[in-house]
Structure 1
Amino acid sequence: MVVTKQADSVPALRRAVRVLDMVRGASHPPLAADVARQLGLPRSTTHGLLAVMVELGLLEKTVNHGYRIGTRLLEWVGGAAEKRDLVAEFYHALDGFSGLDSFTITLTLLEGMEVVYVACRSSQTGLSASFRVGMRLPAIFTATGSAILAEMDDTSFREWLTLYPASAWPEPLTSKSVCSVTGLVREIAVIRERGYAVDSENVYEGLWCAGAVVRDYSGHVVAGLGISLLQAEVGRYDIASLGNRAMALAQAVSKRLGYRSVSAA
C-alpha cells in the first residue's frame, strides 16, 4: 500500500516519537542503554538518535547522563518564554533533590479560579489519581492553589473573591473539599502561619498533597509546587517534614529563577 510505503520512508521519525513517549512516561530520566533496551534498538542507532534529538532541543541530557523532554517541545505547545523557563528550572531543581521517588511532584499556575498543571514527575509507587500536563482543577481544592491564594495580600484576596464568589465555585470534589468563604479564609490563615498548604483528600479520595509557592527574581509568586502521596502512606511521615520538603523544593526552584530571600541577601 502507498500509505505503508510513506510511513516506512521515515523510520527515524517513528523512532524519535517512540523515544519521546518513553522518556515522558519514565519515572526517572532514562539512560541511553535503557532506551535501547526498552525500545529494542541497536545501541549505535540509539546514541545517534539521542544526540540529534538533544541537538534539536527535543531532549535534554541530565547531569546523571539521563534524558528528559527538551524545552523545544514546550515551545511548540505554545507556552510563553517565562513559563518554559519555569518548567525547565523545575526539572533542574528536581535533579538536585534525593529522597523524592515516593512522591509525585507537580507544578501549577493560577489561572482565574483554577490551577493548570504545567509540569509533573510521577512517583515510582503510583497514585490513585493521574496528574498530567494541561489538567485543570479548582484552585480552592488543591494544595498548590491554596498556597498561592494564601500569599496574596488581603486586598488582592478580596479582589479575587469578588471575581470568583462562592456562588460561582464548583461543586465539592469530595466530602472534604472546602465549600465556603469562611472555610477558605480559615484555611488560608493556617497556611500563612505554617508556610505550606495541605490537601487531605480535598481533590481525590485517598490522595494527600503538600503545596508551597515558587517566586521569580522579584519575589512575585509565579507558581505552586506540590508533593503528593497516597493518604494511606502519610502515617509513615511527619506532616511537618512533608510540608518542609515542599517548601525546600519550591525555594530551590525560586532560587534558580533568581529569587533571593532577605535572609539570604
Structure 2
Amino acid sequence: MSKPHDSVPALRRAVRILDLVKSTERPPLAADIARQLDLPRSTVHGLVAVMVELGLLEKTVTQGYRLGARLLDWGGGVTEQRDLVTEFYQTLESASDLAAFTVTLTVLEDTDVVYMACRNSATVLGASFRVGMRLPAIFTATGNAMLAEMDDNAFREWLTLHPASTWPEPLTPNGIRSVTTLVREIAEIRERGYAVDDEQVHDGLWCFGAGVKDHSGRMVAGVGLSLPQTELGRYEVSQLGHMALALAQALSRRLGYRAAHADSV
C-alpha cells in the first residue's frame, strides 16, 4: 500500500515544476525542467502540455515556459493587477527620459513587496529584478514609499502587526534595523514625496521610489527607478527622486486618480 503523500505524484510534480519556473530567470525549456528536477522527459512533456492547456503555464516564443495567467486569477484581484501592469507599461512608453534606469512596479503584501512588472536598463546593476520576486518592504524604496502613503493610524497598525522582533536581517549594512529609524524615514518620505534605497537591497545599487494611487485615492502600488551607485554622480539626488514621483503621478492619473476629487471624498 502506497503512502498517503505518494497518492498524487503528478500533482506534486506539477507544483515542483511551477516552483522551478517561478524561480528561474529565463523561461526554462521542457528539457531544462526534466534535467533540474530529475524527471523523465516524457513525464515533463505530458505535464507541461496539460498545464499549458489549463492556463497554469504559458509557452514563450523561445519554447520556454512561464507562469500562466490562471495563477493570477486564483490569487484574487487579478483584474486590478492586470490593469495596473498594463497601465505601468503604457506610462513608460511616453517616458523616454527613463530609458537609462531599471524601472519596477511593486505591490505591498504584509512585510514584503512583490514585483509585478519590470523594465530593465542596459546598464549593469549588479542585481536582477524579475516579476514575482519578493523583498522585505522596509529595505526597498517602493516599500517605504507605500508605507509612507498610509495614514498614521494605518501605519501604527502595520507596526503593531509586524514588530521589529519579526523583521528579517538587513540585506546590507545600510538596512533599516529599528522602529525609530523606520519612523524617521517615513516622516522624511512624506515631506519630500519620494523614498530612497541607498544600497539597502544590494551594495552599489540605489533606488528611488514613490507610491501609486487608484481612482479612489487608495495606495495600490509603488514604482522605483534603480541605477548603479557609479552612475549616481550624473544626477542630483532630488532630481532622481522627483523623476520617480513624476512617474508615480503619471501612472496614478492613468488609473483615474485626481487629487482634488479624491481628497474631497
TM-score range, shorter chain: 0.7 to 0.9
| Correspondence 1:86 to 2:84 | yes
The offset of 1:126, in angstroms, is 2.6
TM-score w.r.t. length of structure 2: 0.72
Q: How does 1:7-18 map to 2 (within 5 A)?
A: 17-18=60-61
CA distance in 1, matches of 2:71, 2:111: 26
Which of 216, 219, 223 in structure 2 is aligned with 1:218?
A: 216
Please give the per-residue CA displacement for 1:144-174, whole angstroms capped at 9, x wherever unaligned.
Answer: 0000111111111110001000000000110
CA distance in 2, matches of 1:159, 1:20: 46
Structure 1 gap segments, 5+ residues each: 8-15, 25-71
CA distance in 2, matches of 1:155, 1:213: 18
The offset of 1:232, in angstroms, is 1.2
Paired position in structure 2 for 1:234: 232
Identity %: 61
Contact 1:215 1:222 in 2 (8 A): yes
Contact 1:74 1:84 in 2 (8 A): no
Which of 162, 165, 190 in structure 2 is aligned with 1:164?
A: 162
Paired position in structure 1 for 2:148: 150
CA distance in 2, matches of 1:77, 1:20: 22
* CA 236–263 in structure 1, closer or farther in 2 if over 3 Å, else same: farther
Aligned pair count? 207
Contact 2:215 2:262 in 1 (8 A): no
Contact 2:217 2:262 in 1 (8 A): no
CA distance in 2, matches of 1:104, 1:146: 18
* CA 145–264 in structure 1, closer or farther in 2 if over 3 Å, else same: closer
CA distance in 1, matches of 2:237, 2:261: 25
Paired position in structure 2 for 1:137: 135
CA distance in 1, matches of 2:62, 2:246: 32
* CA 90–75 in structure 1, closer or farther in 2 if over 3 Å, else same: farther
* CA 178–76 in structure 1, closer or farther in 2 if over 3 Å, else same: closer
Off by >3 Å, runs of 4+ in structure 1 = 72-79
Paired position in structure 2 for 1:112: 110
